[in-house]
Amino acid sequence: MVTVWTLDEREVRISAMRAQGAGGQNVNKVSSAVHLRYDVAASSLPEAVKERLLRLRDARITDAGEVLIKAQRYRTQQANRLDALARLQALIDRAAIAPAVRRATRPTRASRERRLTDKRQRGALKASRASGENFE
């Protein structure tokens, strides 16, 4: 996928913390996990991209308009930092693509006739299933 908008890393706040889960002797000593914060409103993104980004139904976007990403997949802080930035870039790329404008169209005459013909056939089939007795 082609990157639509390049992320300015100066607008991103990254803090290191200890990763969760198993990790052996290093887990309690090394802060290898990364917490990324990105304020959408204060960013240099175009206004249309900001609006689409804030409208995304994504749990990583807070009500205050901040994107929060926690990366702890890798053992090194640098790898987790790059992973968090890549995930933020993917989120921005998803919002940067403008949705196609839907233009209202009318059904063709042939499609209307096909629909009505199918409705008549379905009705006839259901009517043929009914017996002469009344169900009470």
CATH number of the domain within which 48 lies: 3.30.160.20
At 119, list the tokens: 């409705």
Nearest-CA neighbor of 90 among 62, 60, 112?
60
Q: How far apart are CA 60 and CA 66, in angstroms?
A: 8
Q: How many other CB atoms sit within 10 Å of the CB of residue 72? A: 19
Q: 94-130: per-residue pLDDT in tens?
A: 888 888 899 999 999 999 999 999 999 999 999 999 8
Distance of CA 8 to the CA centre of its chain: 21
Asked if the structure places residue 101 within a domain, the reply is no
Question: How many domains in the chain?
Answer: 1
Q: What is the pTM of this model?
A: 0.66
Q: Does a structural domain hold residue 70?
A: yes
* Domain span at 86: 9-96
Residue 16 has φ and ψ, to the nearest 5°, of -95, 150
